[in-house]
Every structure is written in structure tokens, then in C-alpha cells.
Amino acid sequence: MTATRKARHQKPQPVDLLDPSGIVNVQAERECLAALLDLVDRDTATATAVAGSLAGDAFTVDYGPEIFRAIRAAAAKTKPSISDVLTALRDELVRQNIDPADAAGKLAAIAEERFATGHGADRRAAERAAVVRELFARRQTVRALGDALRRVHDERPMPEELEAAAAGVREVAAMAAGRQHRGRRLRVRTASEIEPLPIEWLWPRRISRGSLTIITGLPGLSKSLLTIDITARITTGGKWPDGTGSAPSGGVLLFGT
């Protein structure tokens, strides 16, 4: 009973804001590598594009940097395969005087887990690559902040160095606060608590202001032509074709993919 009470009232350890080791997502890293392995066999262009947005140092899992560099090296071949990744991995480890057997086992384990394969691999690879990039950037920020603070301690600081260090402290503190608030619950309100607001129309009864409007239909039904026509009426204050008045004059941003 005494031990339980002591453990219950034990103060939590303070967070070391200058320790980047906690800013990782091993699951995302493994899923990213697994999806890239699938893409090497199926979609070399996508594998090359996703790998080009990453760096080997962004991975923290065992042999992650070496596996990633092997994937990137294999993807550069004309018709790569998983065997090319394994060959590149062995060559990489031999150059570092590391026994490749253990790393090959890690590579096989990642490939067998199959977090994402087939046509879902390109989406999963891009999503997980974004997570890996973001966390890598955060770790770099923490390391840069630590270096700046050490320089401030060891040398006579310049005003701009102090400002840079202060900005780094604010950024790391914000990251720590974000980690602490991950457990927040979803706030739920009943519809009766929401105050209804009148609808403001851009095109009466068809397109409202401040909301999403989707124009959909089969190809060849002039959806693009309709969009351009609406744009022309808004930018010139022209009349709507159904007799519901004139469009409010304004600017339009048009973009396409």
C-alpha cells in the first residue's frame, strides 16, 4: 500500500525540450519504407519521386537510412526489383564494414509486413513520407537550437543569435505543448446549441457565399464552360441567366490540375 501511494504521488519527470529522440514515428517510417519497396517493383517513377523528397537521415528505425538509400539506388535502375534493393543494401553495408545479414533480415521483415501494396502504396508512401519529413525537420530544429544555446553559453552572443535562440525555444515549446495535448477529447454540441444564420447567395438558390459548391457530371457536359461563364458574370457584374438578378461584382481565382 505504501509503495502504491508513493508511485501514485510521484512527480512526473520534466520534459527535456532539447532532446530530439522523442520526435519520431517508427510506424510511419516502416510504412513509408514498405510502400517504397512495393513501388520499386510496380511504379518506379512514383518511387523515385517520393524518395527524392526524403533523406536517409530522416529515418530512425534500425538500418532505416541504409534501407532507404538502397531503395533510392535501386529505383534509379531501368527495371528495378527487390533483389536490386537487397544488392544495393549489401554494398552500402560492406562499405561501412557492417555485417549485412542482420540488415537483410530487417529489410525482409519490412517487406513481409506489407503495410501498403498495390495501387494504395503510392498514396500511403506519400502520406507517410510527409510525416517522416515533418518529424525530421522538427528534430533538426531541436538540434539547431541546442547548438545555438551552446554557442550563446560559450561565446559572447550577438543580438541576432539571441533572437534566433529565443525563436527556437518558442518553437520547441510549441511542439512539446502539441504532444501534451494529443489526448484532448472531441467537443460535441447538440444542433439546438448552434445559432442558425441566414444564407447569403452569390447566385440565388444555386451558389451560396462561404460554402462549398461542387459542379459534377459526366465528361463532355460543359462543366468547365459553365464555370468560365459564372466567372465572367462575377467579374463583370453580369446578369444571371435564370432571371434572378445580377452577380455581385468581384474577383475570381481559377486554377486547374
Nearest one of 5, 6, 234, 17 to 138, comparing CA atoms: 17
DSSP code string of 21-85: GGS--HHHHHHHHHHHHHHHHH-HHHHHHHHHT--GGG--STTHHHHHHHHHHHHTSSS--HHHH
Q: How many residues does the chain have?
A: 257
Q: Where are the domains of the chain?
A: 15-180, 203-257
Do the Cβ atoms of 107 and 86 come closer than 8 Å?
A: yes
Name the grid cell of 241: 441567366
State which H helix or E strand residue 201 sits in.
Answer: strand 201-203
Query: Grid coordinates 522538427 are at which residue?
Result: 138
Pick the CATH number of 15-180 from 3.40.50.970, 3.90.1720.10, 1.10.860.10, 3.30.565.10: 1.10.860.10
Amino acid at the residue 119:
H
Q: What is the phi-psi region of residue 118: left when phi exceeds 0, alpha when psi lies from -120 to 50, beta otherwise?
A: left
pTM above 0.75, yes or no: no
Name the grid cell of 199: 444564407
Query: Grid coordinates 517522416 are at which residue?
Result: 132
Tens of each residue's pLDDT in the chain, 257 residues? 445 555 555 555 555 666 777 788 888 888 888 888 888 878 888 888 888 888 888 999 888 888 889 888 888 888 888 788 888 888 888 888 887 777 777 777 777 765 555 666 778 888 888 889 888 888 887 777 777 777 766 766 666 766 766 676 666 666 655 554 445 555 677 888 888 888 889 999 899 988 888 888 888 888 889 999 999 999 999 999 999 999 988 888 887 65
Do the Cβ atoms of 85 and 70 come closer than 8 Å?
A: yes
